[in-house]
Each structure stands twice: as structure tokens, then as C-alpha cells.
């Protein structure tokens, strides 16, 4: 049951991540996502075959349900519709990870201030709340990494515009992401653990 909860939390967390991109784009002048029907919680319009199904199931099976990760289909946007394409692209890129951080903070504060029922098997079970915080922190931190097509790359290119750097990162993006997924969690996990404790006052 816990493993199923992880998959459900992951699915809706990545959907909220993508919807946040779409709403940010709408506020900044681009209604592409709205016209394509992507500003909805309906999971069917957001599912990515590999990122939403295959990868989470592979991780689910290989880790015995203790760890799942994935992504939804990216919400499209047209930078030509944005009022300031370079700046606004960075803003809407940050909107997705920010949504995950806000979710982690809200559910983390429920834990910190004791709004849970340890013996209750539903929404306010402590284990469930911890999973929400953990999964959303993982999504936020991972997506803020400055590697295309992750959100952090657009933020990086705004603050440090360099065609050579951009070309290099795009050229080796798949390899870099693969290496991080296989070997990089040791670098990411201390930050996730710190934020988890900061938000909840508890350990994993």
C-alpha cells in the first residue's frame, strides 16, 4: 500500500509541477498551455510514456517500492508570446520547482506542528505526509539542476548567457543526467535531507 501511495504522490506532484509552468506562462503572456488543455489535474493529458510509467515502475520494482522518480509530459510554451522572452523563460522554468517546494513546505509544516494521526491510514498519516515532502523535495532539487532540459538550465542561461556553455550542456545533457541518476544522489541527498528537516523538524 505504501508503494502505491508513492506512485500516486509522484504522479500528482509532477502534474502540479507542469501545471505551474503553464500558469506562469499564462500570467507572462503565453496561453499555449491553456489552449492545449494542459492546465488541468487530469493525469491522462500529462502522462509521459517513459517518465510517468516506465521509469517509475522500473525504480519501483528495483528498489522494492522504497524509491520512485519520474516526470510528466512537459507543458509547451511559445517564448515569442512572452513579454520578455529571456527573463520570462527563466521565471516560468522556476515555477515548476517552486510549486514542489511549496507543496513540500505545506505538508512539512503539518508534520512540524503535529497535524497528523499516526494510527490513521489516510491523508494525514505521518508516513504519507513524509512521502509527500520527500518526493516534492526530490523533484524540486533535481529539476533545478542546470542541465537541459531540466528547469535549472533555463535559469542558468538567463544569469550566465554563454552560447558555448549552452551548446556544451545540450550536447552532453543525456550523459550528464544519466550520470546524476546513477551516481549523483550522494551529492543531492544531503541538501534534500537538510530541507526535509528544516520543513518538518523530523528525519526521514
C-alpha cell at 157: 542561461
Residues with a catalytic annotation lie at: 18
Q: Please, what is the angle between helix 173-183 and helix 163-171, to 10°? A: 60
- H or E segment and range at residue 146: none
The three-class DSSP label of residue 92 is helix
Helices (H), 51-124: 55-62, 85-112
Q: Cell numbers 505545506 correspond to what residue?
A: 106
Is the dihedral angle over the CA atoms 101, 31, 33, 77 positive or is it negative? negative
The length of the chain is 204
Amino acid at each position: 500500500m505504501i508503494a502505491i501511495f508513492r506512485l500516486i504522490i509522484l504522479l500528482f506532484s509532477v502534474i502540479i509541477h507542469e501545471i505551474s509552468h503553464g500558469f506562469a506562462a499564462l500570467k507572462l503572456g503565453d496561453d499555449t498551455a491553456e489552449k492545449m488543455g494542459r492546465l488541468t489535474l487530469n493525469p491522462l493529458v500529462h502522462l509521459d510514456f517513459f517518465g510517468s510509467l516506465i521509469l517509475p515502475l522500473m525504480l519501483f520494482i528495483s528498489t522494492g517500492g522504497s524509491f520512485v522518480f519520474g516526470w510528466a509530459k512537459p507543458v509547451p510554451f511559445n517564448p515569442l508570446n512572452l513579454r520578455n522572452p529571456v527573463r520570462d523563460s527563466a521565471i516560468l522554468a522556476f515555477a515548476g520547482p517552486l510549486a514542489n517546494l511549496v507543496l513540500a513546505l505545506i505538508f512539512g509544516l503539518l508534520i512540524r506542528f503535529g497535524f497528523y494521526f499516526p494510527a490513521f491510514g489516510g491523508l494525514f498519516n505521518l508516513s504519507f505526509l513524509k512521502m509527500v515532502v520527500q518526493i516534492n523535495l526530490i523533484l524540486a532539487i533535481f529539476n533545478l539542476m542546470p542541465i537541459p532540459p531540466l528547469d535549472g538550465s533555463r535559469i542558468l542561461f538567463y544569469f550566465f548567457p554563454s552560447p558555448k556553455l549552452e551548446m556544451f550542456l545540450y550536447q552532453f545533457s543525456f550523459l550528464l543526467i544519466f550520470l546524476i541518476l546513477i551516481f549523483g544522489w550522494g551529492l543531492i541527498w544531503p541538501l534534500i535531507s537538510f530541507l526535509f528537516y528544516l520543513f518538518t523538524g523530523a528525519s526521514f
